[in-house]
């Protein structure tokens, strides 16, 4: 690195930490964080041998990313369930990523000033808040850490430092893929870097920091065959994981024209948000999945033509300004896995998907401005001043965006405020309000979600739980029944209905025989190891006078609850056992809500 570069790196690292420090007081959110961390029994146990085996063999959350699971386990091992500490690990990785990017650009181009601004915008742009502020997006910052390490190893290898650096390139790619499959475009980016700044082809001159001899295209591609083999294997595993988790949206549910339209719009959407980052949210619902029509060919085809036009212009300047083509193709290529041609999840676009792709845009712009200024001191002064002002504005907007990540409720409210018909975030908002005890708000949000998405069983399930707590058991019963009708194989609604029928204080609502039948169906769907459903089955058995069976079932439920770390549940079950031993059925007291299982939103992709 140039003489001033270590100080630039230190400044960048410190400013990044300071900017994101408010996350030290942020909590977990109810979107993916339960399944990734605080309700995941494998992660909650810390770093264990059983957990390590699970990490490498599970498709939980519709992904295969064992290093991400291990990193969450290590967090729990070190910090317990302190959400601030989990957030700060993300912040630290993000700051390191920015420094690695800066160091790579300086050593390959010899130009610390434009390199600094590329790395600084990467570090401080508000579009990257989601990747850092969301504990569940550890996979983003972790995979990028290995991505940037791989770039450094690749530079050592092309400069003739032996085979060890190439082994490091392979190892970095492997680790990146084990953290998040979006790293599949890494070998393609290496080909772009061969063009510029490394100058390994005869198409474009090398940057002044990369004096390496050019080689033929066959050599360039052949040397990357092991990398493409790893990518192919990871892609197969990813498709299997996402298909097994039900995250992949099939063609009949979302047509090819809709996918092409969303992709064309998405490429321009990310550019717009990069230049004017307003209205950012954790989920932008895909209009095609929400029942709305995406613009016809006449609307999105011009956008596609515009993307092709920009590409042709950049290629036109390949010999004189190769950074334009490299930066633009970096952007286009690294977005391919998440642009929506293969639709995973309910989002049309996502801030987190821009984490690595926008590096290409920043690179092209920074070097274009640097070339424009040339040796003119006045232009350089004006350019640095303008870029510094934009960087300061980015940091301010990032701090503002971090406010929305303080809690699950504030995050969901933000998404509802800046998007339309966001049924997932309305549901999340209801879930957060319910968990805070604001039942009337929860009811309102759930009803709005049901109105937008009437065939979502989980929406009816949680609405039923709130209605029961608000003193409307018959309405709650109807909601549970509707959820069971929509999703017969999902046990939460059946369990909640059985509990209502077995324990409600009003004899006009209570029905022990129906409760017993529904609880048995719930247990069959969930499996015999579910403590909450066994607790419900015991209540139904007691209501029908089978007290000996209720005691035995409750004892099994209490044991399972203790073994899974659900101490509060095991304590409550012990109280119920005492009642059953005295020949007394369990009754819910009016105004007291049972600790019934709530259904969560699906994976984020």
Dihedral of the alpha carbons of 7, 11, 17, 21, in degrees to the nearest 10:
150
Whether 564 is in a domain gets the answer: yes
Among 110-114, 254-258, 337-341, 472-476, the minimum mean pLDDT is found in 254-258
Beta-sheet pairing, 284-285 with 347-349: antiparallel
* Domain encompassing residue 462: 422-488
- Whether residue 534 contacts residue 558, with contact meaning beta carbons closer than 8 Å, is answered with no
Q: What is the pLDDT of residue 257?
A: 75
> Could you give the CA distance from residue 176 to residue 172 in angstroms, rounded to a whole number?
6
State the pLDDT at residue 1.
Answer: 47
User: What is the H or E stretch that residue 284 is in?
Assistant: strand 284-285
My answer on whether 203 and 251 are in the same domain is yes
For the segment 488-508, the average pLDDT, to the nearest whole number, is 91
Residue 58 has which token pair? 């599970």
Instruction: List the one residue out of 505, 519, 502 whose CA is nearest residue 580.
Output: 502
Please say whether the dihedral angle defined by the alpha carbons of residues 538, 540, 545 and 546, taken in this order, is positive or negative: negative
CA distance 74 to 89: 11
Note the pLDDT tens digit of each residue in 450-466: 999 999 999 999 999 99
416 occurs within a structural domain: no
d(CA 476, CA 371): 67
Same domain, 290 and 366: yes
pLDDT confidence of residue 376:
81
- DSSP readout, 57-97? H--GGG---HHHHHHHHHHHHHHTT-HHHHHHHHHHHHHHH
Q: Is residue 121 part of a domain?
A: yes
- Residue 411 in any domain: the answer is no
**For 127-138, how does the pLDDT look when each residue is reduced to its tens digit (9 = 90+)?**
999 999 999 999
- The number of domains in the chain is 3
**Average pLDDT of span 504-510:** 91
Per cent of the chain over pLDDT 70 is 92
Instruction: Return the pLDDT at 284.
Output: 93
Summarize the confidence of residues 396-408 as an average pLDDT. 97
Q: 426: part of which helix (H) or strand (E)?
A: helix 423-435
Tens-digit pLDDT profile for residues 2-36: 566 889 999 999 999 999 999 999 999 999 999 99
Could you tell me the CATH number of the domain that includes residue 438? 1.25.40.10
Q: How far is CA 305 from CA 175, 259, 267, 297, 349, in A?
A: 37, 16, 12, 11, 20
How many angstroms separate the Cα of 301 from the Cα of each of 197, 340, 521? Answer: 33, 16, 51
Averaged pLDDT score across all residues of the chain: 90
CA nearest to 188, candidates 335, 309, 353: 335
Note whether residue 224 is domain-resident: yes
Instruction: Compute CA 100 distance to the chain's CA centroid, rounded to the nearest angstrom.
Output: 23
Cβ–Cβ < 8 Å for 523, 533: yes
Which pLDDT belongs to residue 566? 79
In a domain, 533, yes or no: yes
pLDDT tens track for 253-302 = 667 777 888 888 899 999 999 999 999 999 999 877 665 555 566 667 88
Tokens 């993300």 sit at which residue?
A: 90
Say if residue 482 is in the same domain as residue 500: no
**How crowded is the C-beta side of 51, counted as CA atoms within 13 Å?**
21
Query: Within this chain, do residues 377 and 447 fall inside the same structural domain, yes or no?
Result: no
- Give 496-522 as a DSSP string: HHHHHHHH-S-TTT--HHHHHHHHHHH
**Percent of the chain scoring above 90 in pLDDT:** 72
pLDDT for residue 593 is more than 50: no
Q: Are residues 384 and 525 in the same domain?
A: no
DSSP 602: -
pLDDT value at position 248?
A: 62
Examine residue 26 and state whether it is found in any structural domain, yes or no.
yes
- State the virtual CA torsion across 122, 124, 130, 135 in degrees, nearest 10: 100
Lookup: tokens for 8: 């630039």
| 275/399 Cα distance (integer angstroms) | 17
**326 and 257 in a common domain:** yes
Question: What's the confidence (pLDDT) of residue 253?
Answer: 64
CATH of the domain at 569: 1.25.40
Which helix H or strand E contains 481, and what residues bound it? helix 473-486
Q: Per the domain annotation, does 414 fall within a domain? A: no
Q: How far apart are CA 259 and CA 254, in angstroms?
A: 7
Of 449, 468, 488, the one marking the end of a domain is 488
Which two structure tokens, joined as six digits, stand for 268?
A: 């321009």
pLDDT digits (tens, 9 = 90+) for 524-566: 988 888 899 999 999 999 999 999 999 999 999 999 988 877 7
Q: Inform me whether the pLDDT recorded for 594 exceeds 50.
A: no
Torsions phi, psi for 284 (to 5 deg): -110, 105
Whether residue 243 sits in one domain with residue 372: yes
Q: Answer yes or no: do 214 and 110 share one domain.
A: yes
Residues 30 and 408: beta-carbon distance below 8 Å: yes
> Do 332 and 265 fall within a single domain?
yes
Handedness of CA 172, 173, 179, 183 (dihedral sign): positive
The pTM score is 0.92
Give residue 592's pLDDT.
Answer: 38
Same domain, yes or no: 448 and 585: no
Are residue 456 and residue 525 in the same domain, yes or no?
Answer: no
The residue among 345, 380, 405 that closes a domain is 405
Helix-helix angle 547-563:567-581, to 10 degrees: 160
Which of 426, 419, 398 lies closest to 281, judged by CA? Answer: 419
How is residue 264 written in tokens? 């064309």
For residue 55, the SS3 value is helix
pLDDT > 70? residue 404: yes
Torsion of CA 464, 465, 467, 468, to 10 degrees: 110
Do residues 451 and 572 both lie within one domain? no
Q: Identify any residues that bridge with 344 across adjacent strands, giving them in sequence order.
A: 248
pLDDT in tens, 43-79: 999 999 999 999 999 998 889 999 999 999 999 999 9
Q: Among 359, 375, 405, where does a domain finish?
A: 405
Average pLDDT, integer, range 407-430: 95
What is the pLDDT, as a whole number, of residue 171? 97
Residue given tokens 């474009």 in the structure block: 204
Assign 363 to helix, strand or coil.
helix
Give the per-residue pLDDT at 292.
Answer: 57
Residue 603, pLDDT score = 46
Q: For residues 37 and 81, is the Cβ–Cβ distance under 8 A?
A: yes
């Amino acid at each position: 690195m140039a003489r001033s570069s270590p100080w630039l790196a230190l400044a960048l690292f410190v400013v990044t930490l300071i900017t994101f420090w408010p996350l030290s007081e942020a909590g977990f959110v109810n979107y993916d964080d339960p399944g990734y961390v605080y309700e995941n029994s494998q992660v909650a146990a810390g770093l264990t041998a059983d957990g390590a085996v699970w990490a490498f063999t599970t498709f939980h959350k519709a992904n295969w990313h064992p290093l991400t699971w291990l990193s969450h386990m290590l967090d729990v091992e070190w910090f317990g369930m302190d959400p601030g500490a989990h957030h700060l690990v993300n912040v630290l990785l993000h700051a390191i990523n920015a420094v690695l990017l800066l160091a790579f650009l300086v050593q390959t181009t010899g130009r610390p000033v434009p390199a600094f601004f590329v790395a600084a915008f990467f570090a401080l742009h508000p579009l990257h808040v989601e990747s850092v502020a969301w504990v569940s997006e550890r996979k983003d910052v972790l995979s990028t850490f290995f991505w940037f390490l791989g770039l450094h190893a690749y530079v050592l290898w092309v400069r003739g430092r032996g085979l060890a650096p190439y082994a490091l390139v392979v190892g970095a790619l492997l680790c990146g893929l084990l953290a998040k499959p979006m790293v599949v475009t890494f070998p393609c980016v290496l080909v772009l870097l061969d063009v510029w700044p490394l100058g390994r082809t005869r198409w474009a001159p090398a940057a002044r920091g990369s004096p390496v001899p050019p080689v033929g295209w066959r050599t360039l591609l052949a040397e990357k065959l092991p990398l493409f083999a790893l990518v192919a294997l990871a892609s197969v595993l990813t498709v299997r994981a996402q298909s097994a988790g039900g995250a992949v949206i099939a063609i009949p549910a979302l047509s090819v024209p809709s996918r092409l339209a969303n992709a064309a719009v998405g490429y321009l959407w990310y550019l717009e948000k990069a230049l004017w980052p307003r209205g950012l949210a954790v989920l932008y619902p895909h209009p095609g999945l929400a029942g709305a029509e995406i613009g016809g060919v006449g609307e999105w085809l011009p956008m596609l033509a515009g993307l092709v036009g920009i590409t042709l212009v950049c290629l036109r300047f390949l010999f004189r300004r190769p950074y334009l083509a490299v930066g633009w193709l970096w952007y286009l290529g690294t977005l391919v896995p998440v642009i929506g041609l293969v639709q995973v999840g309910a989002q049309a676009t996502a801030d987190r998907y821009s984490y690595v792709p926008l590096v290409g845009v920043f690179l092209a712009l920074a070097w274009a401005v640097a070339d424009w200024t040339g040796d003119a001191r006045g232009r350089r002064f004006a350019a640095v001043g303008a870029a510094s002002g934009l960087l300061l504005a980015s940091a301010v907007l990032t701090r503002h965006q971090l406010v929305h990540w303080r809690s699950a409720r504030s995050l969901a409210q933000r998404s509802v405020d800046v998007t339309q018909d966001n049924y997932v975030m309305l549901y999340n908002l209801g879930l957060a309000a319910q968990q805070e005890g604001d039942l009337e708000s929860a009811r309102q949000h759930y009803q709005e979600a049901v109105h937008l998405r009437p065939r979502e069983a989980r929406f009816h399930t949680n609405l039923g739980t709130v209605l029961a707590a608000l003193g409307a058991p018959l309405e709650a019963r109807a909601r549970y029944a509707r959820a069971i009708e929509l999703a017969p194989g999902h046990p939460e609604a059946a369990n909640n209905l059985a509990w209502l029928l077995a324990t409600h204080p009003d004899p006009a609502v209570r029905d022990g025989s129906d409760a017993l039948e529904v609880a048995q169906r719930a247990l069959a769907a969930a499996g015999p190891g579910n403590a909450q459903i066994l607790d419900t089955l015991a209540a139904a058995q007691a209501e029908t006078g089978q007290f000996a069976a209720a005691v035995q079932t409750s004892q099994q439920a209490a044991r399972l609850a203790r073994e899974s770390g659900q101490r509060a549940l095991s304590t409550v079950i012990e109280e119920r056992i005492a009642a059953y031993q005295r020949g007394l059925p369990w009754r819910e007291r009016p105004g007291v809500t049972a600790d019934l299982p709530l259904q969560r939103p699906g994976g984020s992709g």
